């Protein structure tokens, strides 16, 4: 996507100006009735926020397909993706590369619904070779334009996180908490899988930070793991706030009740939005030359930060003035 020469993205982000700005919430569902409900909720929330897709819906084969019924489930997922409202972001999580259903998932779903998918999530990736194989299969099925999202779930995958994030087809890395903990053979206690313990165990924290650093090094999106206590609104709020502290810009939801708390937790504070609006509008008026704002010098380095505040406000549904909304509507949209 091209921009006017004075568009904030073109001026401030350089080569990354055309990068996709992903929604902050990625909602997973795999049971047919819940997949249908998720797609309806996605469309309803888009209506509420003026037509903007506020969260991804990822239709799940890995945890959704019954054993022995993988092909039928893949066909159902492809049909649901084709029926989704135009403009909505619908993805699929296929089975892992080592699973017998992996190739059939890709061939069936991408082959039947590539034009209706925003990306393919590949779980249990161990290194860049797994990504290359997945990309080749997606391409063979007709999904040459589809980005790959990758789920990092083992110590070896964490070790290779920078190489995986560097792959040109990868758009986002997600952290798989429960598989990561269980991959340690009992060396990490079960408490490290709950909403609070996952932010306290040093091995889990180290893995999360490594994944986030790999993503930011290569301009990819780090996506935080699930909170399984889906009936506890305080648990999801706390975890989302902690995820932001670890430099994550996106988070999984596994229950409809978790979507709005994630949007709220990843939204900038109103004071930060107001300040960003004033600085970016003043910078634009100065043709992006340095300015003084409330006695503080600002230039393109700080403009970049404040522009990203506005992008985060936009994809969390915060009200913004007309000029800023115009710029954001001209950006690569979720």
Question: 3-state DSSP call for residue 171?
Answer: strand
**C-beta of residue 107 within 8 angstroms of C-beta of residue 134:** no
**Whole-angstrom Cα distance, residue 288 to residue 293?**
13
Question: Do 216 and 301 belong together in one domain?
Answer: no
Range of the domain at 161: 25-266
Question: Do 105 and 202 belong together in one domain?
Answer: yes
Q: Give the pLDDT of residue 35.
A: 98
Element (H, E) at 151: strand 148-152
Residue 212 lies in a domain: yes
Residue 150 lies in a domain: yes
Q: What are phi and psi of 259, to 5 degrees?
A: -65, -55
Question: Do 166 and 51 belong together in one domain?
Answer: yes
Q: What angle do CA 26, 51, 275 make, to 5 degrees?
A: 80
Q: Give the pLDDT of residue 155.
A: 97
Split into its structural domains, the chain has a count of 2
Q: Give the pLDDT of residue 331.
A: 59
Residue 103 lies in a domain: yes
Beta bridge partners of 175: 152
Q: Give the pLDDT of residue 15.
A: 56
Question: Do 277 and 323 belong together in one domain?
Answer: yes
**Whole-angstrom Cα distance, residue 208 to residue 203?**
9
Residue 19 lies in a domain: no
Question: Do 254 and 177 belong together in one domain?
Answer: yes
Q: Single out the residue in 216, 243, 266 at which a domain terminates.
A: 266
**C-beta of residue 330 within 8 angstroms of C-beta of residue 18:** no
Question: Do 188 and 318 belong together in one domain?
Answer: no
Q: Give the pLDDT of residue 323.
A: 82
- Residue 41 to residues 35, 116, 260: CA-CA distances in angstroms? 10, 17, 11
Residue 4 lies in a domain: no
**C-beta of residue 265 within 8 angstroms of C-beta of residue 25:** no
Question: Do 209 and 260 belong together in one domain?
Answer: yes
Question: Do 40 and 134 belong together in one domain?
Answer: yes
Average pLDDT across each block of 10 residues of the chain; the chain has 334 residues. List them in order. 67 67 95 97 95 95 96 98 96 98 98 98 98 98 97 98 97 97 96 94 98 95 94 92 96 96 95 96 93 95 94 92 82 51
Q: Single out the residue in 246, 266, 286 at which a domain terminates.
A: 266
Residue 135 lies in a domain: yes
Question: Do 179 and 102 belong together in one domain?
Answer: yes
Question: Do 175 and 205 belong together in one domain?
Answer: yes
Residue 157 lies in a domain: yes
Question: Do 146 and 107 belong together in one domain?
Answer: yes
**C-beta of residue 212 within 8 angstroms of C-beta of residue 246:** yes
Question: Do 260 and 278 belong together in one domain?
Answer: no
Residue 186 lies in a domain: yes
């Amino acid at each position: 996507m091209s921009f006017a020469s004075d568009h904030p993205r073109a001026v401030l982000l350089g080569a990354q100006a055309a990068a996709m700005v992903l929604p902050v919430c990625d909602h997973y569902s795999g049971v047919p009735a819940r997949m249908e409900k998720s797609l309806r909720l996605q469309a309803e929330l888009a209506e509420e926020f003026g037509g903007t897709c506020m969260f991804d819906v990822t239709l799940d084969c890995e945890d959704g397909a019954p054993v022995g019924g993988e092909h039928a489930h893949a066909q159902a997922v492809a049909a649901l993706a084709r029926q989704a409202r135009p403009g909505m972001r619908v993805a699929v999580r296929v089975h892992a590369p080592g699973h017998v259903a992996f190739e059939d998932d890709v061939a069936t779903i991408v082959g039947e619904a590539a034009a209706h998918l925003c990306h393919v999530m590949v779980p249990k990736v161990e290194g860049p070779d797994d990504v290359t194989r997945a990309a080749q299969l997606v391409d063979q099925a007709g999904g040459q334009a589809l980005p790959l999202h990758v789920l990092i779930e083992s110590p070896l995958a964490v070790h290779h996180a920078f190489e995986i994030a560097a792959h040109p087809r990868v758009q986002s890395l997600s952290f798989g908490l429960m598989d990561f903990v269980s991959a340690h053979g009992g060396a990490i206690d079960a408490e490290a899988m709950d909403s609070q313990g996952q932010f306290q165990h040093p091995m889990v924290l180290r893995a999360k930070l490594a994944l986030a650093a790999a993503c930011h090094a290569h301009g990819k999106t780090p996506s935080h793991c699930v909170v399984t206590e889906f009936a506890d609104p305080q648990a999801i709020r706390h975890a989302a706030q902690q995820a932001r502290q670890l430099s994550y810009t996106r988070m999984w939801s596994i229950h409809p009740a978790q979507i709005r708390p994630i949007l709220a937790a990843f939204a900038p504070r109103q004071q930060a939005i107001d300040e960003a609006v004033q600085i970016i509008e003043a910078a634009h008026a100065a043709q992006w030359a340095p300015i003084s704002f409330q006695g503080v010098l600002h230039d393109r380095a700080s403009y970049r930060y404040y522009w990203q505040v506005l992008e985060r406000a936009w994809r969390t549904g915060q009200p913004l003035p007309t000029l800023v909304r115009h710029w954001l509507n001209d950006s690569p949209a979720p």
